[in-house]
Amino acid sequence: MSGPSKGNAVEINDKAQLVEFAASGCKPSDKWRIGTEHEKFGFTLDTHEPLSYEGPKGIRAMLEGLQRFGWHPEYEGDNIIALSKEGCSVSLEPGGQLELSGAAVETLHETCAEVHTHLAQVREVGDEMGVGFLGLGFSPKWTLKETPIMPKGRYQIMKRYMPTRGQHGLDMMFRSCTVQVNLDYGSEADMVKKFRTSLALQPLATALFANSPFTEGRPNGHLSHRSFIWTDTDPDRTGMIPFVFEDGFSFEQYVDYALDVPMYFVYRDGDYLDASGQSFRDFLAGKLPALPGEKPTLVDWDNHLTTLFPEVRMKRFLEMRGADGGPWRRLCALPALWVGLLYDDDALDAAWDLVKGWTAEDRQRIRNDVYTMALKTPMPDGRRMQELAVEVLDIAAAGLKARKRLDSFGEDESHFLNALKTIVKQGRTPAEEMLERFNGEWKENIDPVFREYAY
């Protein structure tokens, strides 16, 4: 979850500026980049408790320790709430989840090296402090009451507002982790095709990365509980947004959607002003109750866009949001999947051909089934998700090979899909593997997860 946006505070006077903002993301293909983000749970090695902000084993101490590697602190008041360096950032999610937002890089080799370096740094500091970090999609043990809240103003506003708009908004904020990738588009038509293809296939990513079968120490009945909680988290700003597949979908139509999503806040002079439930359209007209008479800037718009949570989100790029957090190899596999499908024209055409016949009802039914059934989810043609996954991974591999981005050993990027190919071949998700261990060698004790699934 992003911090406040930075940039030129250009005043917005009409909707056309917002459409132009989205269109300004268009880039020639040689300028397309990959930005990978992932979140992880911190815990004390001795007691497996979540990390508070303060204290010798707290998040502040972790952020201070990471500065030895050249990270620069960012503050909200007196609190360090993020680190930045060379286009990357390390930031805090509401419940203390630590997020790496990677730089915009050209190849998967670079993004995977970036993830590896970050996790090594976190491990070095964490070992000294007596804390570890866990790659799962949902907190396996802690209750909401046991989970701390980080000292960021926007989280206090969201904590108050979320329970008014669904049953699981606080679970999403405080007890979930994801891995996602941000990718570019070349034109409005390219954006439309990538948005539709990736949105239709987002449940496939949910199935492949399903990694959250526990809640408060017990199986929760889902393979991706993180995906389930999004089905009852503020319907104004979540879901499969069917209008993306309608004729005439455009930058302007997405802007209209975003304008109609209620606001959370306005950021001014280091403070978050509560604007929860208020209208950005009123803000455009200078009639926002939180700031009467004031017009928004593009920074305000960028901040507002970060509070939309559909399965694929557009800012000046597209964000793939369907996957649970997981171990190092799958943090590299997620961007490999989407880069392979979306950054090669032949691959994009082939992927779209697989899903273009699906109806809105098909897509929603798959989305509703996948958090429980994962690779066993029925497809509209009568097959299972596992069979679709074989085809999709073949397409992604061909797309990566066609890119011909080689590392120092002469290998292309397709090997980053191997972790996913293993899952599909076995027909067993990471969540099902954990459940087998929980019911077997772990003897229904969740604590081994902190040892065996930590970074």
User: 410 Cβ partners below 8 Å, 6+ apart?
Assistant: none
Token couple for 10: 């250009």
Q: What is the pLDDT of residues 226-235, one digit of tens each?
A: 999 999 999 9
Q: Which residues contact 24 (CB under 8 A, 6 or more apart)?
A: 316
- Output the pLDDT for position 201: 98
Any residues with CB less than 8 A from the CB of 393 and at least 6 apart, and which? 337, 417, 420, 421, 424
DSSP 446: S
**Cα atoms found within 13 Å of the Cα of residue 119, Cβ hemisphere only:** 22
Contact 369, 377 (CB under 8 A): yes
Tokens for 215?
């809640």
Is domain 16-261+308-452 classified as CATH 3.40.140.10? no
The two most distant CA atoms of the chain are separated, in Å, by 64
pLDDT of residue 4: 54
| Per-domain residue ranges of the chain | 16-261+308-452
Query: Residue 7: its pLDDT value, please?
Result: 57
Residue in the structure block whose two tokens are 């502040």: 60
Rounded distance between C-alpha atoms, residue 149 and residue 241, angstroms: 30
Angle ∠(209,212,214) on CA atoms, nearest 5: 160
pTM of the model: 0.96
Q: What is the pLDDT of residue 24?
A: 98
Q: Which segments of the chain have a pLDDT < 70?
A: 1-8
Going by C-beta distance under 8 Å and a sequence separation of 6 or more, which residues neighbour residue 219? 213, 435, 438
Contacts within 8 Å (CB) and 24+ apart, 382-387 = 385/203, 385/204, 385/207, 386/424, 386/427
Which pLDDT value is given to residue 8?
Answer: 58
> Which tokens in the block code for residue 199?
């949105």
| Residues making up the chain, counted from first to last | 455
Q: How far is CA 445 from CA 46, 176, 217, 328, in A?
A: 16, 21, 7, 24
Question: For residue 329, which of 208, 412, 230 has the smallest C-alpha distance?
Answer: 208
CB 107 within 8 A of CB 30: no
Task: Please give the C-alpha separations between residue 194 and each of 167, 272, 401, in angstroms, as whole numbers.
Answer: 31, 34, 19
Burial of 438 (0-12, 13-18, 19+ CB in 10 A): buried
As a whole number of angstroms, the distance between CA 56 and CA 65 comes to 11
